[in-house]
Structure 1
Amino acid sequence: MGVSNEDAIKQFQSLMEVVDEPLKQTFKNMHQGYPTETLARFLKAREWNVHKAHKMLVDCLNWRVQNEIDNILAKPIIPTDLYKAIRDSQLIGLSGFSREGLPVIAVGVGLSTFDKASVHYYVQSHIQMNEYRDRVILPIASKNHERPISTCIKVLDMTGLKLSALNQIKILSVISTIDDLNYPEKTETYYVVNAPYVFSACWKVVKPLLQERTRRKIQVLQGCGRDELLKVMEYASLPHFCKREGSGSSRHSRNGTMTENCFSSDHHFHQQLYNYIKEQAASRPSLLPIKQGSFHVAFPEPDPKDAKIAETIETELHRLEDLDGLDKLL
């Protein structure tokens, strides 16, 4: 017989009281004053099995200590031109907040190329945005709404998704595994918009492989999803690619200024993030890189189920690629 959620959290708390001091310190940086909510996230990720959740969290804390994740917000990507190149090829940004106060994270899945730097820079950039979200954005949102806010909404733009996405599976798998193991249950809902045929074909074969908990979070919307998204956020918080049918997710906004495009390095979110990292680095000069170089983070081994999903996507893309080639010959 399983224990109640409340009892599970109490058991988890007791186990965490005896972990080593370095792990307690990095856990404090993680939970930002909301330890119970953090424990609950790890319990949800392990179906409320206390021992599995405890192992997951301890592994996560060890990963943070060994890879100096607590210091990653003092490790700027330099020079600035390289940072801008990464922003142009790893399309992600904060477009606003939902009506309930959750950050709205926009992701340009289809047009992200990940071809301007090594995988280590993209992983560094991704973790920095995770940490900035968790250590700066969410605590401010929690304070403004006078309640714990520990999750976000993600709007995934599939504009431009092509069979060449096969080349990105490796890096996307690395980033996904880091999120699954170290930032579990941080996304309330995934909204998929502007989905082309190639996504629909992959989704059909991948959906049955996902856990029911994950499937419930994913909503595939018609077109740019504007009308459905307006039910959960104000128009001003819509990502730029959702504000008009067919607008697409452009690296250089066709439907407004660069500052309206939340993927652009000129957008206020990325300006604030980069300035914050530079300020943190300046306040701790001993952490400044001596020369240009990415902050290497150890890549965790993917869960066998996640590896199976990546393999399935790769197989389906190969199949579609073969069919596309055959169509061109006929």
Structure 2
Amino acid sequence: MGVASQDAIDQLRALMDLVSEPLRATFQNVHQGYINETLVRFLKAREWNVSKAHKMLVDCLNWRVQNEIDNILSKPIIPPDLYRAVRDSQLIGLSGYSREGLPVFAIGVGLSTFDKASVHYYVQSHIQVNEYRDRVILPNTSKKHGRPITTSVKVLDMTGLKLSALNQIKLLTIISSIDDLNYPEKTNTYYIVNAPYIFSACWKVVKPLLQERTRKKVQVLPGSGRDELLKIMDYACLPHFCRKEGSGSSRHMDSGSENCYSLDHPFHQELYDYIRQQSRLHEAAEPIKQGSFHVDFPEPQAEGSEIAKTIESELNKFNLKINGD
């Protein structure tokens, strides 16, 4: 790291030393003892501009306080059947760890339907996974490896991607904006697998719109990506949809314990048990209420809005082409 970068970190750290409660308390939940690494993430997200990174970080902390994000891991989605419905329609899971110790998150982009609950439940679920990753998984793997591990790997399964994805763009833009503004630079690499033609068509026009640092993180792998992914992780850590040769996947191709999207997978069992345990600790002060945990949605960033519009335009063109044929 160069002198200029270290100067930027020192300047931002001096500014953050000035914040008072309750921002100071929520900042501890963000950095988990890895302050410099956290400052670097926000500096990278703002091209190493200290003033802009400081504003971004303070805005993030205010968002956390205003939306009680520190308490979101004590707010289970109940009843369990509703949570299972969310899991069945918002496909995400932890399949294992890379050989460097980075968590490997699998995301079923193509087969997620987001049609079993309100937007608020999906946003709540997404933020809970983020917070569990940052406050439990990453600190644990950092301790295990004896060094800071503050990012993860994401494997995006495009199996089943259809024109109906248009219906999900608004929700996906909301979730993407929450991540961009409040969880920046948490993904080391995005691996795209099982990409159908429709994805390839969109990717050609979306790729130039991405910032260079984001573009460099995206790798589109052939087929299921198995051979390439085995270079960075063991077979046991591959997402279930990457374990066979070629392309193609299925939401239900494996049993619950193998399918990392499923509520029956160990990751989701541990996550749900953790949230229920945390809720019991808060029960005396505040009884559990049924209903979603509402979080203010940020205005989509200019880049995200442009990308969403471009994808929508390309999908519409694709639809016209198919119907024209």
Question: TM class by shorter-chain length?
Answer: over 0.9
AA partner of residue 216 (structure 1): K
What is the rounded CA distance, in whole Å, between the counterparts of 1:120 and 1:175 in structure 2? 11
Deviation of the 1:246 alpha carbon: 5.0
Asked whether the equivalents of residues 239 and 260 of structure 2 are also in contact (C-alpha less than 8 Å), the reply is: yes
Conserved? CA contact 1:45–1:185, under 8 Å? yes
- Alpha-carbon RMSD across the aligned residues, in angstroms, is 1.2
* Partners of 1:36 and 1:302 in 2: CA distance: 27
Contact 2:194 2:247 in 1 (8 A): no
C-alpha distance in structure 2 between counterparts of 1:250 and 1:182, whole Å: 32
Deviations 1:92-125 (A, max 9, x none): 0000000000000000000000000000000000
Equivalent pair of 1:162/1:198 in contact (CA under 8 Å): yes
Which residue in 1 is equivalent to 2:40?
Answer: 40
The residue that corresponds to 2:82 in the other structure is: 82
Aligned to 2:318: 320
Alignment pair present for 1:161 and 2:161: yes
CA distance in 1, matches of 2:16, 2:87: 38
Q: Partner residue of 2:306? A: 308
Aligned pairs for 1:290-301 (under 5 A) are 290=289, 292-301=290-299
The amino acid across from 1:265 in the alignment is L
Equivalence map 1:163-202=2 (5 Å): 163-202=163-202
Aligned equivalent of 1:289: 288
Local SS of the residue matching 2:216: helix
Give the aligned partner of residue 9 of structure 1. Answer: 9
1:257 deviation in Å?
2.1
What are the Cα deviations for residues 195-248 of structure 1, in whole angstroms up to 9, with x where unaligned?
001100000000000011000000000000000000010000000000003574
Match of 1:267 among 265, 268, 271: 265
Q: Aligned runs of 1:61-72 on 2, under 5 Å? A: 61-72=61-72
The code of the aligned residue for 2:306 comes to: K
Task: Give the conservation status (yes or no) of the 8 Å contact 2:114–2:122.
Answer: yes
Q: One-letter code of the match for 1:83?
A: Y
Counterpart-to-counterpart distance in 1, 2:256 and 2:76? 22
Letter aligned with residue 311 of structure 1: K
1:72 and 1:258 map into 2 onto residues whose CA distance is 26
Q: Tell me, in whole angstroms, the C-alpha distance in 2 between the residues paired with 1:280 and 1:70.
A: 11
The TM-score with structure 2 as length reference comes to: 0.97
Contact 1:75–1:288 (CA<8 Å) still a contact in 2? no
Q: CA deviation at 1:249?
A: 3.8
Deviations 1:46-68 (A, max 9, x none): 01000000000000000000000
2:133 counterpart residue number: 133
CA contact (8 A) 2:26 2:70 kept: yes
1:111 maps to a residue whose letter is L
CA 249–293 in structure 1, closer or farther in 2 if over 3 Å, else same: farther
Mapping of 1:182-261 within 5 angstroms? 182-246=182-246, 248-252=248-252, 254=253, 256-261=254-259
**Given the superposition, is the C-alpha separation of residues 323 and 247 from structure 1 closer, same or farther in structure 2, using an over 3 Å criterion?**
closer
Distance (whole Å) between structure 2 residues aligned to residue 324 and residue 81 of structure 1: 38
Rate the CA distance shift 1:249–1:298 in 2: closer, same or farther, 3 A: farther
SS, match of residue 257 in structure 2: helix
Does the CA-based 8 Å contact 1:111-1:249 persist in structure 2?
Answer: no
Give a deviation string over 1:246-292, Cα, whole Å, max 9, x none.
Answer: 5744332x2x32200000000000000000000000011134433x2
Residue in 2 that maps onto 1:280: 278
Q: Report the TM-score when normalising by structure 1.
A: 0.96
Specify the code of the residue in structure 1 equivalent to 2:278: Q
* Distance of 1:8 and 1:270 partners within structure 2: 39
Partner of 1:107: 107
Unaligned runs of 5+ in 1: none
How far apart, in 1, do the equivalents of 2:35 and 2:287 lie?
Answer: 30
Residues matched between the structures, number: 323
Q: 4+ residue stretches of structure 1 with deviation over 6 A?
A: none
Q: Deviations over 1:282-330 (max 9, x none)?
A: 011134433x210000000111121111111111111111111112xxx
